[in-house]
Amino acid sequence: TGLFTYDPGFTSTASCESSITYIDGDKGELLYRGYPIEEIAEHSDFMEVCYLLLFGNLPTGEEKTKFVHDVTHHTMVHEQINMFFRGFRRDAHPMAVMCGVVGALSAFYQDSLDINDPHQRLIASYRLIAKMPTIAAMAYKYSVGQPFMYPRNDLSYAENFLYMTFAVPCEEYKPNPVLARALDRIFMLHADHEQNASTSTVRLAGSSGANPFACIAAGIASLWGPAHGGANEAVLKMLGEIGTKERIPEFLERAKDKNDPFRLMGFGHRVYKNYDPRAAVIRQTCYEVLEELGVKDEPLLALAMELEKIALEDKYFVDRKLYPNVDFYSGIILRAMGFPVSMFTALFALARTVGWIAQWAEMIEDPEQKIGRPRQLYVGEPRRAYVPLDKRG
C-alpha cells in the first residue's frame, strides 16, 4: 500500500537503540560493551561477562566478588520445580523442558516482581542467570534417570554446571579445570549477540510489560530452531550423516541445490559476511579440549575441518560470503565433554540468558520504548458480504 516499509525477516530494520553489543559483519568483529570478543574469551570469565553486559563496565575485584556471591545465592530452584519435571516424558527434548520450566518460574515469582523497580529487575536477572544451569542439568538428569544434584556454590559457574550434569551421589566428582575453562569460554562466546531472533523475541514479549521469566521462555522457544541456536545440534547430526570425507562434495552439491531443503549447518550468518570471530575462538578451544581428552584424531573434527576447507574454496560459498559460524565447532567440543547432542541448544540458552535479560532491562529502562507492534501488507480478500450457510457452495 506504500504506507509501511516492507521488510520481511527485518533485514534492514533497527528495532531499538542499544549500547550492549556491537557487530561489524563485514569485518567479522564482535564487541561486548566495546571490548573485543577475542580479548574477553582469552582473559575474562563468564561471571565477569555477565556483570559487564548487565552493568556496562568490567567489575572491580570487590564488585566481582559481591556479584558472584549475589548470583550464586539463587542457584537452587524451589523444591516444587522437581515435581514439575515429572510431568515430562523421559525422552522430552531438553529445550521443550527448558521452555516449560523457565516459563513456570514466572508463577514462582509473580508477587515479588514489579518490573518498574530496578532492584527487583536485578534480582530477576540474578535468579535467571543462577537457575538456568540448575534447570538445564536437571533436564539432563531427568532424561537419563539419575537423581538431581543440588548446586555447589563453592565451584565456579562452569564447574558447578559440569558437577550438576555429570556427578552422581555415590561417586566423588572433580570437574576437570581444562574442560571447565573451555565450557566457560563457550558460555562467554554465546552470552549476547544483539538483536538476533531470540533476543528480539524476548524484547517483543517484554514490550507489553509481561513477566520476564515468561519472556525468557519465549526466547528459549525462538532459539530452539535449527536456523538459530538449534544449529549446533544440527551440525553434529549433519557430520554424522556425511560420515566420510569422500561424501563431502555430494552434500555441498545438495546445499547449493535450491530445490533441496538441505543447508550446510553451521555455515552462514545474517550479519557476518566474514569469518564469525566466535568460530575462530571455538576452533582453537576445540583443539585444546580434544588434546586434554586425548582424542586428537577425533574423526568428526577432521571431517569438519575438511568440509570447512572445501566450502571456503567453493564459488557458491565465496560468492555468498558464507563462512563457518559459532555453531560449527561448538558441538564437537560439547560432545567430547560428554554432553548428548540434544543438550547442545540448552547450553546455548543457558549462556544467552544473560544477554536476553540485559537487553530486556535496557528496553524497560528506555523511555522511547513502546509496545512492539509491526504492521503488515494485507494481501487477502477485499471487503465482501457475509454468505449464509444455506447459500454457500
Rounded least distance, CB 264 to ligand CMC, Å: 4
Q: Mark whether 193 is an active-site residue.
A: no
| Helix, strand, or coil (residue 36) | strand
- Among 30-38, 51-59, 208-216, 320-328, which window interacts with ligand CMC (CB under 6 A)? 320-328
Sheet with strand 29-32: strands edge to edge: 21-24, 29-32, 35-36
Could you say whether residue 196 binds ligand CMC (CB under 6 A)?
A: yes
Rounded least distance, CB 321 to ligand CMC, Å: 8
Could you say whether residue 99 binds ligand CMC (CB under 6 A)?
A: no
Could you say whether residue 324 binds ligand CMC (CB under 6 A)?
A: no
Rounded least distance, CB 202 to ligand CMC, Å: 14
Q: CA-to-CA distance for 92 and 104, rounded, in angstroms? A: 17
- Nearest residue (beta carbon) to ligand CMC: 268
Determine phi and psi for 35, rounding to 5 degrees. Answer: -90, 130
CB 222 within 8 A of CB 228: yes
CB 132 within 8 A of CB 77: no
Largest Cα–Cα distance of the chain, in whole Å?
78
Could you say whether residue 269 binds ligand CMC (CB under 6 A)?
A: yes
**Residue 321 CB coordination number (10 Å):** 13
- Among 33-41, 135-143, 226-234, 243-251, which window interacts with ligand CMC (CB under 6 A)? 226-234
Q: Mark whether 327 is an active-site residue.
A: yes
Distance of CA 145 to the CA centre of its chain: 25
Which lies closer to ligand CMC via its Cβ, residue 165 or residue 325?
325
Give the count of alpha carbons within 13 A of 268, CB side only.
15
Catalytic residue, chosen from 93, 190, 269, 314, is 269
Q: CA-to-CA distance for 39 and 196, rounded, in angstroms? A: 22
Which lies closer to ligand CMC via its Cβ, residue 117 or residue 257?
257
Could you say whether residue 227 binds ligand CMC (CB under 6 A)?
A: yes
Could you say whether residue 265 binds ligand CMC (CB under 6 A)?
A: yes
CB 282 within 8 A of CB 333: yes
User: Euclidean distance between the first and final Cα of the chain, in Å?
Assistant: 32
Rounded least distance, CB 367 to ligand CMC, Å: 29
Rounded least distance, CB 234 to ligand CMC, Å: 7
Return the residue of 327, 332, 339, 351 that touches ligand CMC, per CB under 6 A: 327
Rounded least distance, CB 190 to ligand CMC, Å: 8
Return the residue of 268, 277, 331, 355 that touches ligand CMC, per CB under 6 A: 268
Return the residue of 84, 161, 267, 356 that touches ligand CMC, per CB under 6 A: 267
Which lies closer to ligand CMC via its Cβ, residue 258 or residue 383?
258
Which lies closer to ligand CMC via its Cβ, residue 143 or residue 232?
232
> Nearest CA to 105 among 218, 211, 213?
213
Mark out the alpha helices in 44-156 (DSSP H runs): 46-55, 61-72, 79-86, 94-108, 118-144
Please work out, in degrees rounded to the nearest 5, the angle formed at the alpha carbon of residue 341 by the alpha carbons of 335 and 342. 145
Residue 144 CB partners (closer than 8 Å, separation 6+)? none
Which of the residues are catalytic?
269, 327
List residues binding ligand CMC (CB under 6 A). Answer: 9, 193, 196, 227-229, 231, 255, 263-270, 320, 322, 325-327
